[in-house]
Amino acid sequence: MLFFVVLALSNGLLIGVSRTINGRLSTRRGAFAASVWNHVVGLAFLSVVLLVMRVWPDVTRVPVAAYAGGVFGALFVAVNSYVFPRLGAMSAAVLVIAGQVLSAVVIDCVRQAALPSPLRLAGVALVLAGLCLPLLRK
Amino acid sequence: MRLTTGLLAMAAGVLLTLMTLTNAVLAQHTGAVFASWAAHGIGAVVALLLLLVTPRTATPEGRTPLWYYLGGIPGALVVVLSAIAVNSELALSGTIALMLTGQVIFGAVSDHLGLLDTPRRPITGTDLAVAGCVLSGAVLIVLGGA
């Protein structure tokens, strides 16, 4: 169990490393170039992983819309690489997480046509309170 | 100015949710690694198109270190490792909660020490309070179920 906890935590660390490096590249080559390099290098790396694993799934029944993730990903890396050097690693991570979880709650609400659980609502309140803290200090 | 950048960062988070949502459909049909491989391929094409239609940015003086180009490797590694963690006792919610925590810890340490060529940034009490609230709120949302 501890192994998986460390693994998942290290994954968060790797995300930070990846976004920091892309942010560095964006300061020299621009945010869109950083997104291109991130995707090309990641594609090459995953191609090796797929070749080693020798798995090739049946893709004939996959809905085309399921491939739209790549479009969002390309935009995400560009925007994130732009904001990362400007906000710093911690604030950028915190704000991205806030946008991520708040939009996830809204999307779940719409898709399930139901209000979030009380625990989730408490979470939303905490996230919003955190985001308002710097505004109060001014 | 800082507010606009902050809102842009939150918009990036929304993009990430949309990406996760669509990639999850693809992963259900094909598996996590293949889904990410396909998303990287399409993402590369889209990013290239965006690069071509946006104004060119002038590259500053000096050489760009080679490792600046390799951010895609740790990013892609995350996909492989989280597929392993999700299948453990941690399940999806536990894995996500720990990954979010790892990101914030990395951010704090990186800003404090100036890791990976980044400028050192002092972390204020307000920064820590914001991080604490957002992270604990996010974990409640993830663990609280839909």
User: By residue range, what is the domain housing residue A118?
Assistant: 88-138
Question: Could you tell me what percent of chain A has a pLDDT over 70?
Answer: 99
Which residues make Cβ contacts (< 8 Å) with residue A60, sequence separation at least 6? none
Residue B96 · residue B145 · CB < 8 Å: no
The per-residue pLDDT for B115 is 95
> What are the pLDDT digits (tens) for B17-62?
999 889 888 888 888 889 999 999 999 999 999 999 998 878 888 8
Same domain (yes/no): A83, A93: no
Same domain (yes/no): A24, A77: yes
| Residue B133: pLDDT over 80 | yes
Residues 30-89 (A) with a CB less than 8 A from some CB of B:
30, 32-47, 49-50, 53, 55-59, 61-63, 65-80, 82-83, 85-89
Q: Which residue has the higher pLDDT, B87 or A120?
A: A120
Same domain (yes/no): A36, A72: yes
The total of other beta-carbon atoms located within 10 Å of residue B36's CB is 31
Amino acid residing at B80: V
Amino acid residing at A73: G
| Residue A11 belongs to some domain of the structure | yes
Amino acid residing at A90: M
Residues 78-137 (A) with a CB less than 8 A from some CB of B:
78-80, 82-83, 85-105, 107-108, 112, 114, 116-120, 122-131, 133-134, 137
How far is residue B88's CA from residue B85's CA, in Å, rounded to a whole number? 5
| Residue A1 belongs to some domain of the structure | no
In the predicted model, residues of chain A with pLDDT beneath 70 are: 137-138
Across the interface, whether the CB atoms of B98 and A9 are under 8 A apart is answered yes
Both tokens assigned to B120:
């050192």
> What are the pLDDT digits (tens) for A124-136?
999 999 999 888 8
The per-residue pLDDT for B57 is 79
How far is residue A74's CA from residue A94's CA, in Å, rounded to a whole number? 20
> Which one-letter DSSP state was computed for residue A137?
T
The per-residue pLDDT for A41 is 97
The per-residue pLDDT for B146 is 59
CA distances to A126, B20, B106 from B114, rounded to whole Å, are: 29, 30, 11
Separation in Å, CA of B32 to nearest CA in chain A: 11
Same domain (yes/no): A117, A82: no
How far is residue B128's CA from residue B102's CA, in Å, rounded to a whole number? 15
Q: What is the mean pLDDT of chain B?
A: 90
Residue A70 · residue B39 · CB < 8 Å: yes
Helices B2-30 and B32-53: crossing angle, nearest 10°?
Answer: 140
The per-residue pLDDT for A23 is 95
The per-residue pLDDT for A11 is 92
Indicate the pLDDT class of residue B89, thresholds 50, 70 and 90: confident
The per-residue pLDDT for B62 is 87
Same domain (yes/no): A83, A94: no
Among all residues of chain B, which has the CA nearest to that of A26? B68
Same domain (yes/no): A73, A101: no
How far is residue B108's CA from residue B128's CA, in Å, rounded to a whole number? 9
| Residue A137 belongs to some domain of the structure | yes
What is the number of domains present in chain A? 2
| Residue A95 belongs to some domain of the structure | yes
